[in-house]
């Protein structure tokens, strides 16, 4: 039980540091913010991740998380289409 708590604490600390640096610092500022939309690989990875979560949600989770993931997938797809225009 102790090892599980330590593991979760490390992930929590890393997540909090990421949020602090992202919103209040300049250490995690992207060098080129348009990189996501110019790359072919990164959007494919995003679609694959959301598609995998949709499959897991459909198979193993309740309808509310599944619907949330589907909504996220739809917004992601719209963002990619609008970025290509």
In the chain, the number of structural domains is 2
**pLDDT score for 48:** 93
Tell me the C-alpha distance between 70 and 81, whole Å.
17
Mark whether 41 and 69 lie in a shared domain: yes
Most confident residue range from 35-39, 49-53, 57-61, 79-83: 49-53
Mark whether 4 and 14 lie in a shared domain: yes
Mark whether 62 and 74 lie in a shared domain: yes
**pLDDT score for 34:** 66
Q: What is the DSSP string of 43-71?
A: HHHHHHHHHHHHHHHHHHS-HHHHHHHHH
Mark whether 61 and 40 lie in a shared domain: yes
Q: Is pTM beyond 0.75 here?
A: no
**pLDDT score for 36:** 65
Residue 76, classified by CB atoms within 10 Å of its CB into exposed (0-12), middle (13-18) or buried (19+), is: middle
Mark whether 42 and 58 lie in a shared domain: yes
């Amino acid at each position: 039980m102790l090892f599980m708590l330590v593991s979760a604490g490390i992930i929590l600390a890393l997540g909090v540091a990421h949020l602090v640096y992202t919103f209040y610092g300049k250490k995690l500022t992207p060098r080129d913010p348009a990189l996501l939309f110019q790359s072919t690989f990164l959007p494919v990875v995003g679609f694959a991740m959301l598609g995998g979560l949709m499959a897991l949600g459909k198979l193993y989770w309740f309808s509310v998380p599944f619907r949330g993931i589907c909504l996220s997938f739809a917004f992601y797809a719209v963002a990619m289409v609008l970025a290509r225009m």
